[in-house]
Amino acid sequence: MSERTAQSHTRKVRPRKVAVSKVTNARDALADWGRGMETYCLTFGQFSLMDAVEAILEKTGPADVAIATWTAGSADLSRSAESLRNGNIRSLRFVVDCSFGQRQPGYLAQVRALFGDEAIRSTRTHAKYAVITNDAWEVAVRTSMNLNENPRLESIEVSDDPELAGFLLRVTDEIFAEEAAGDFRTKSRPELPGIEGIEPRFGVSAIGDVSATGFVSVVSA
């Protein structure tokens, strides 16, 4: 068993708005979000991750998008493809869990048909995030939401944060370099060799085959 360190990004606290979203759409939930802002919402499933991405794109203009998700649904996939066709999304990449094809083969087939294997990488992941970038904006979205509709309590945090967006893009780039297009077999956790790590200091025992590893942490300082 190899020793690996957790990957991290440490940043200063940004101006933040925290709320429980009782509105029915992402546009209203993110109405006050903008330059230098971070908005954190708890929702009751009124909108999906794709709703949030579309609301952000209304503010940023056309942008490149990367999405990490454990699962995905047909409606959000179709809307992602439409945003790509109409130019609101300039380029789109997906990181999905390697069990996705076994759990939902029809939806995996839809992703491959809509976007092609070069736009998708499969790895062992439960991370959920989106990165939205163009010449003027570098936006990071951290969330419990998958790329589907889910009528449950969900969290989403949208940050105008070049450092965090850059970190998540580097993680995405590492996964795209590490995993082969079209390979949806069961895999181990990604190695992420090019991402800076947190060195172990406290000697915490790990569970199973996890040894101070596999966690991407973001610490506000």
Distances (CA, A) of 201 to 8, 109, 191, 221: 14, 44, 20, 18
CATH of the domain at 160: 3.30.870.10
| Helices vs strands, H then E, count in the chain | 6, 11
Quick check: is 64 in a domain? yes
Quick check: is 215 in a domain? no
- How confident is the model over 79-88, as a mean pLDDT? 97
Percent of the chain with pLDDT over 90: 61
- How confident is the model over 182-193, as a mean pLDDT? 89
Cβ partners under 8 Å of residue 113, min gap 6: none
Quick check: is 205 in a domain? no
- How high is the pLDDT of residue 45? 83
Q: How many domains does the chain have?
A: 1
Quick check: is 3 in a domain? no
- How high is the pLDDT of residue 189? 86
Quick check: is 216 in a domain? no
pTM for the model: 0.83
- How high is the pLDDT of residue 14? 63
> To the nearest whole number, what is the mean pLDDT of the chain?
84
In three-state secondary structure terms, 67 is strand
- How confident is the model over 54-79, as a mean pLDDT? 96
**Token reading at 40:** 């954190």
6 vs 210 pLDDT, higher one:
210
Domain of residue 117 covers 15-187
Quick check: is 171 in a domain? yes
Q: Which of 6-10, 54-58, 197-201 has the lowest average pLDDT?
A: 6-10
Quick check: is 193 in a domain? no
216 pLDDT higher than 70: no
Q: What is the pLDDT of residues 133-162, one digit of tens each?
A: 999 999 999 999 999 888 888 999 999 999
**Residues shown for the chain:** 221
Residue reference for tokens 């998540």: 168
Quick check: is 140 in a domain? yes
Neighbour tally for 141: CB within 10 Å = 24
